[in-house]
Chains A and B, each alone.
Chain A
């Protein structure tokens, strides 16, 4: 059974940084694209970033380019999202997702990031 467990969320001031992690199990992590999708409180879903199986390519929504960095450690079955220069509008639940063919097949429970002074 696929399991994705996010951690690292919390309260941070505007301009601050936070690093999210996702521990994966139940599938061959090194063979899967992985991604982050976020959901602002009471709002819809927004794709944030994703990364190829071997980490050779990463992709971002325009609103986070230059501020967020996605990375993975296939030896540890782990996905990360380094978030810098955080803005109030980055406040959301961040989901780690197993991606395949451009779709999100499995999701974690999410971790809440709140950017506020």
Chain B
């Protein structure tokens, strides 16, 4: 099973600041990595797939990069609605696995 480790666990930032979230895989997943956003009481929403492709309707301030074992989700300038928990997920190997999440909170 591929283990995805996200860091940091919590990121405390102010609106307008840049957020950089990390996801590291226990073995290479190629570019087969996605990022999801989850707000309290809501279902997750797909943001990025195949490491760097934005899903339909996702604002350009969200970008993904990386390949192999190291991946990054960047939010260029935090909007109030971006404070949430973010998960990475790999589809390279079975079982599909998720990271444990990074909470982006208001400083």
Interface residues of chain A: helix, strand, loop or mixed (majority): strand
Interface pair A47/B43, CB less than 8 Å apart: no
A101 to B95: give the CA distance in the assembly, Å. 14
Nearest CB of chain B from residue A67's CB, rounded to whole Å: 15
Known: A101-B49, A104-B36. A44 touches B95 (CB 8 A): no
Interfacial chain B residues near A110, Cβ < 8 Å = 43
Q: By the criterion CB–CB under 8 Å, are B89 and A45 in contact?
A: yes
Q: Which of B32, B43, B99 contacts A108 (CB 8 A)?
A: B43
How many residue pairs link A and B with beta carbons under 8 A? The number is 52
Number of interface residues of A (CB under 8 A): 20
A102 near B91 (CB under 8 angstroms)? yes
- Alpha-carbon gap, A103 to B97, bound state (A): 11
CA gap between A103 and B44 in the complex, in Å: 12
Residue pair B101, A103 in contact (C-beta under 8 Å): no
Q: Among B38, B87, B94, find the residue whose CB has the most chain A CB atoms closer than 10 A.
A: B94
Q: Is the CB of A47 within 8 A of B98?
A: yes
Taking Cβ atoms with an 8 Å cutoff, the residues of A that contact B are 37, 44-47, 50, 59, 61-62, 95, 101-110
Can you report 9 residue pairs joining A to B where beta carbons are below 8 Å apart? Answer: A44-B99, A45-B98, A45-B101, A47-B97, A50-B96, A61-B95, A102-B32, A103-B91, A104-B89
